Amino acid sequence: MAPGGRASSSATSVRTDDLTKRFGTRRGVEGVTIEVRDGEVFGFLGPNGAGKSTTIRLLMGLQRPSRGVARVLGLDPVADGAAVRRDVGYLPGELALFPRLTGRETLERLGGARDLRDTGWRDSLIERFGAEIDRPVRALSKGNRQKIGLVQAFMHRPRLLILDEPTSGLDPLLQEEFSRLIQEVSADGVTVFLSSHDLDEVQRLASTVAIIREGHVVAVDTVDGLRRTAPQVIELRFAHPPRTRFADLPGVSVTAQGERDVTLGVTGPVSAVLRAAVSDDVTGITARPVDLEELFLRYYDPLTEEKDHAH
Amino acid sequence: MRTDVMRLDVRLRRRGLVGYTVGMGAYAVLVVALYPTFKGDTGLDAITSGNSSLSALLGVSGPLTSPDGWMNANIYANFLPLVVLLMTIGYGASAVAGQDEDGVLGLTAALPLGRVSLAVQKILALVVIATPVAAVTMLAAVAGRRSDIDLATGPLVAATAAVIGLGIVFGLLALLVGALSSSRTTALGVTSAVAALSYVISALAPVVHWVHAVRWLSPFYWALGGEPLTRGIGAAATWTLVLCIGGLASACVWAVDRMDVR
């Protein structure tokens, strides 16, 4: 695919610095600083209500930031909104379409507004997703509406795709088809910014991940990097209740505590834990790296962080 | 200048637009067709002659059985403005706030066009939506020349333009309140209340002294208070409506530009 673009090119497709949006007393996002390099698939991961959609609307110029800067394809998405959006394909979260229009008329009107003349690629996407385009949108299931939403996001061959929960409502086969499509356009140099609350999806598609929780980006790393820095899980069993307060040891958090057993998350060297365990007559030990699921839950769960801070 | 969003919005309201236009056209033809039956009925004139309060409430100018009095009382003073306002206030409240609440404004706001263009196209759609019902009524009135409704062309065009202008004023107000509040209900409620108050001020101005003193606050007064079907529309009224539309349209562009879209 040869993405046609008029907005200026840059090494980073998306860059934000201290991007903040407040809605009166309601929290939006706070101090979001991220960078998405050209051609990258960037996963934006967080639970519902974390601020993913707000960040995306700021990137699309649909909302104005309260503070901070956003640059999309090198331009300000509010001041240069028309130029930015010419080169961006956007799928809103909780997609709504015009209920009375058919899928075909929806695509034709949105395509017409983008001066889309070559409809061959659009038609191939319709076929690929099996999108039902001849019935009014109001008569379609959520999955069928999502297919039309995906087609309109991809149909003008944008340089940058901003997709908010793109596989929401799609069955597993179509999720697979969507993954293949992302891989294809990514191979053609298209940058993809993808939000999701589904770890598997992001892990499968994205090379870099940002995790957002309660409006704050709490981690940005490659998927491999997140694995490398993940803590080890160590389970210890004792002949009698241990005297050591493991939580006081450096880099250690206690995730479960029984009378004669304890489960720890250990970041960094484990020697201090092992020495303390030996002095307490340890009878059994199991160690394994934390899996990504646990890692993400750790970022998601506010209680985990409070526990970490408390120690 | 692009018109994609304007055409889309008119398309979305096509059914209502056709329905109201056909309905109003049929009603206007009926009113025109009934005129020969009533034009000699002096009893009708007796109802309002010497009763300025009743005349004011009905919007009657002169005798009910004159061509302009008949058309005014049955169509131009109340029913036609009501239908036009239903359409324009409905669209104004839906164009921005309603579409935002429905989640579809994000689709059009994500197109490669600026917010000013988006707002201007919404305003143009409002003008398109305000026009057909008044235009078809005017055609019915022109056709009425065959049944003794011999209205002068100038005043008829002026009255039609005044009703369309009135519809645009309140449609813009609904659009503005919607863009500021992001709430269709607020836009509908506030604008309908202002329109109703404006109508009452205009209707009672001839008979209630203190209402007369504030009549200049009412767009209805400027559009219809000068009996445009009989006398046309004066320069002061024309300029007031034009400035009102210009001011509200500018405010709409400003409000849509700064609005947060879902």
- Inter-chain contact B112–A85, Cβ cutoff 8 Å? yes
Give residue B59's pLDDT. Answer: 64
Give residue A47's pLDDT. Answer: 85
Give residue A232's pLDDT. Answer: 84
Looking at the DSSP assignment, which residues form a beta bridge with residue A27? A22
- Non-local CB neighbours of B79 within 8 Å, separated by 6+ positions: B27
Fold topology of A12-223 = Rossmann fold (3.40.50)
Residue A235 · residue A263 · CB < 8 Å: yes
Lowest mean pLDDT among A133-142, A229-238, B195-204: A229-238
Q: Which of B107, B121, B122 to mutate to test the interface with A (most CBs of A within 10 A)?
A: B107
**Share above pLDDT 70 across residues of chain A, in percent, rounded to a whole number:** 92
Q: What pTM does this model have?
A: 0.89
Residue range A103-109: average pLDDT? 98
Nearest residue in A to B1, CA atom: A113
Residue A74 · residue A37 · CB < 8 Å: no
The answer to whether A12-223 and A231-289 have equal CATH topology is: no
- Which residue numbers in chain B have pLDDT < 70? 58-62
Give residue A288's pLDDT. Answer: 82
Give residue A3's pLDDT. Answer: 43
Residue B229 · residue B159 · CB < 8 Å: yes
- Rounded to a whole number, what is the distance in Å from the CA of B173 to chain A's nearest CA? 23
Q: Chain-wide mean pLDDT for chain A? A: 90
Highest mean pLDDT among A131-140, A194-203, A247-256: A131-140
Q: Which of B2, B3, B8, B100 to mutate to test the interface with A (most CBs of A within 10 A)?
A: B8
**Share above pLDDT 90 across residues of chain A, in percent, rounded to a whole number:** 72
Sequence spans of domains, chain A: 12-223, 231-289
**CA–CA distance, B105 with A117 (Å, rounded to integer):** 24
Q: Please, which pLDDT band fits residue A199 given cuts at 50, 70 and 90? A: confident
Residue A99 · residue A136 · CB < 8 Å: yes
Question: Does the domain spanning A231-289 belong to CATH 3.30.1490?
Answer: no
Nearest residue in B to A6, CA atom: B112
Give residue A1's pLDDT. Answer: 40
Exposure letters A221-246 (e unless 16+ CB within 10 A, then b)? eebeebeeebbebbebebeeebebeb
Structure tokens given for B254: 């400003």
- Residue A64 has its nearest CB partner, among B11, B112, B260, at B260
Give residue A306's pLDDT. Answer: 46
Sheet holding A67-72, edge to edge: A26-37, A12-23, A67-72
Nearest residue in A to B103, CA atom: A96
Q: Please, which pLDDT band fits residue A6 given cuts at 50, 70 and 90? A: very low
- Inter-chain contact B261–A62, Cβ cutoff 8 Å? yes
3-state secondary structure of B182: coil
CB contacts, 8 Å: A86 with chain B: 112
CB contacts, 8 Å: B103 with chain A: 92, 94-96
Q: Answer with the residue of higher pLDDT: A191 or B54.
A: A191
Give residue A227's pLDDT. Answer: 72
Give residue A292's pLDDT. Answer: 65
**CA–CA distance, A194 with A181 (Å, rounded to integer):** 13
- Residue B110 has its nearest CB partner, among A64, A85, A109, at A85
Give residue A124's pLDDT. Answer: 98
What backbone torsions phi and psi does residue A191 show, to the nearest 5 degrees? -90, 140
CB contacts, 8 Å: B1 with chain A: none
Residue range A204-216: average pLDDT? 93
Nearest residue in B to A56, CA atom: B262
Give residue B199's pLDDT. Answer: 94
CB contacts, 8 Å: B3 with chain A: none
Give residue B61's pLDDT. Answer: 62
What confidence tens digit (pLDDT) does each residue in A45-62 have?
988 889 999 999 999 999
Nearest residue in A to B100, CA atom: A96
Structure tokens given for A207: 């090379």
